[in-house]
Amino acid sequence: MKFRICHIILCCSILLSCNAWGQDTTGTEAIKMVIIKNDGARYTGYILEDDSREILLNSDQVGRLYIPKHFIKSIQPLEDEQPIDQQINTEKEEAPIEEIETDTLVKNDAPEKEQDGVLHIKDTLDNDGPQVVIHRKIDLRNRITTKNMISDNAFPIQRGEAYVKFMLFGAEAGIPVTKNWSLGAFSSYWGAPVGIKSKYCIPLTADAVMSIDLAYGTMAFGSWANLGIRDGSLVGSTTFTFGDRDKNFSAKAGYAFVHEFREFWDFDETTMTWQLMTTDYYYTHVIFANVGGMVRLNDHSTFVFDGFTSFIQGDFMLSAGAAVRFGANPHKQWQLGGSLVYSGGSPIPVPVPNFSYTYVFPERKR
């Protein structure tokens, strides 16, 4: 009975509360672009999708259309377009260099510089006309960069990153309050535990940040398991993260205080009924540690992993797992993976599946 209740509260409160309240999806300000094809055709409009093969353009001329990249001669903001007579260069001279700035993804290059969660990347487009150097900016806040497989890293959640996440056994949600502080809530689908969480981030250096996490989960709605408001857990942890929002590693250490209300019953053979003998509170102290991280695979997927260990009054538990988070729509991300668990002196023979769906709410315009 003792470890049954402890593990219910621990698995739901600690693992759910260890999740970070942050995500990242690709979001940029809408800029009207002009697309010039190799055959001279010219389209103006807004780029809706962009990958290594083609773009989806909401054009002013014919509406939405896909244009393969190898058919495109140049891409630039409409306001920076040169007059036609300046674009034609029939002489075999070295092509002049034109520099423009855009938030549109033109092609995949390594990031040059990151400032406040924004990558500044320099691309050069080779074509028969003027050589175009594009300085593009990718807002990393619009991808899920504050969460590992299960745990959270120390990066802060920023504006435009409020989200709700649905997992196999429960759901969570989070919102940023200030630049370095966020609040969240979590619950199992059957209402116990249900809790709240606070995360405060402290930048240390350009490549290191720490966070202080507090969470409280209660079994107030756990009458189905003979639990109630007098059963719950307070969890505190500190996380150190090293790296950037594309590739990072985190180490976490924490403590959980579990309180339970116990009832002791005895069977009366005279009346043939169970009799309540006494009641008391029972307290459990849990020490846990976690390591985790992520590596971006491409613009639509990220590899994430986690390792977790805990000590509960002499009982040792260890788990390790990995998953891939993916999705073409940056506001709708799926995650699929699994974990191996060792508990009670023996391993669980079947991997524990990890499956989730996260929806990131678009940032409200001010």
pLDDT of residue 182: 93
Q: What's the helix, strand, coil split of the chain in %, to 5?
A: 10, 55, 35
Token pair of 297 as six digits: 């695979």
Q: Which residue has the tokens 């092609």?
A: 107
Q: Facing residues of 49 across strands?
A: 56
Rounded CA-CA distance 117/247 in Å is 13
**Mean pLDDT rounded to a whole number for the chain:** 77
Neighbours of 215 (CB within 10 A): 25
C-alpha dihedral, 364 to 58 to 136 to 133, nearest 10°? -160
Residue 62 has pLDDT above 90, yes or no: no
Share of the chain above pLDDT 90, in %: 34
Rounded CA-CA distance 41/26 in Å is 29
Q: Which residue has the tokens 């103006």?
A: 44
Nearest to 89 by CA among 147, 38, 129: 129
Look at the chain and count its residues: 366
pLDDT of residue 280: 82
Residue 59 has pLDDT above 90, yes or no: no
Cα Rg of the chain (Å, integer): 27
pLDDT of residue 95: 45
Residue 7 has pLDDT above 70, yes or no: no
Q: Which residues, 6+ apart, have CB-to-CB distance to 251 below 8 Å?
A: 239, 240, 289, 290, 291
CATH superfamily of 2-22+144-360: monomeric porin ompg (2.40.160.40)
pLDDT of residue 90: 40
* Cβ-contact 313, 321 below 8 angstroms: no
pLDDT of residue 18: 44
Per-residue confidence at 85, pLDDT binned at 50, 70, 90? Answer: very low
What average pLDDT does range 105-131 have in this prediction? 49
Domain residue limits, the chain: 2-22+144-360, 33-141
Residue 321 has pLDDT above 90, yes or no: yes
What average pLDDT does range 180-204 have in this prediction? 93
pLDDT of residue 199: 95
Neighbours of 199 (CB within 10 A): 29
Residue 100 has pLDDT above 90, yes or no: no
Nearest to 194 by CA among 217, 173, 215, 171: 217
* Cβ-contact 323, 297 below 8 angstroms: no
Nearest to 184 by CA among 123, 235, 249: 235
Share of the chain above pLDDT 70, in %: 73
Q: Which residue has the tokens 């990066």?
A: 155
In angstroms, what CA-CA distances link 27 with 192, 305, 362?
36, 25, 9
Local structure of 96: helix, strand or coil: coil
Looking from the CA of 144 toward its CB, the CA atoms found within 13 Å total: 38
Q: What is the DSSP letter of 81?
A: P
Residue type at position 334: W
Helical segments of 224-323, H only: none
What average pLDDT does range 13-30 have in this prediction? 42
Rounded CA-CA distance 125/131 in Å is 6
Per-residue confidence at 120, pLDDT binned at 50, 70, 90? Answer: low
Element (H, E) at 5: helix 2-9
Q: Facing residues of 266 across strands?
A: 275
Per-residue confidence at 132, pLDDT binned at 50, 70, 90? Answer: low
Tens of pLDDT along 270-314? 778 887 778 788 899 999 999 999 998 987 899 999 999 999 877
| Per-range mean pLDDT, top range of 21-35, 69-83, 176-190, 265-279 | 176-190
- Choice among 121-130, 217-226, 288-297, 324-333 with the minimum mean pLDDT: 121-130
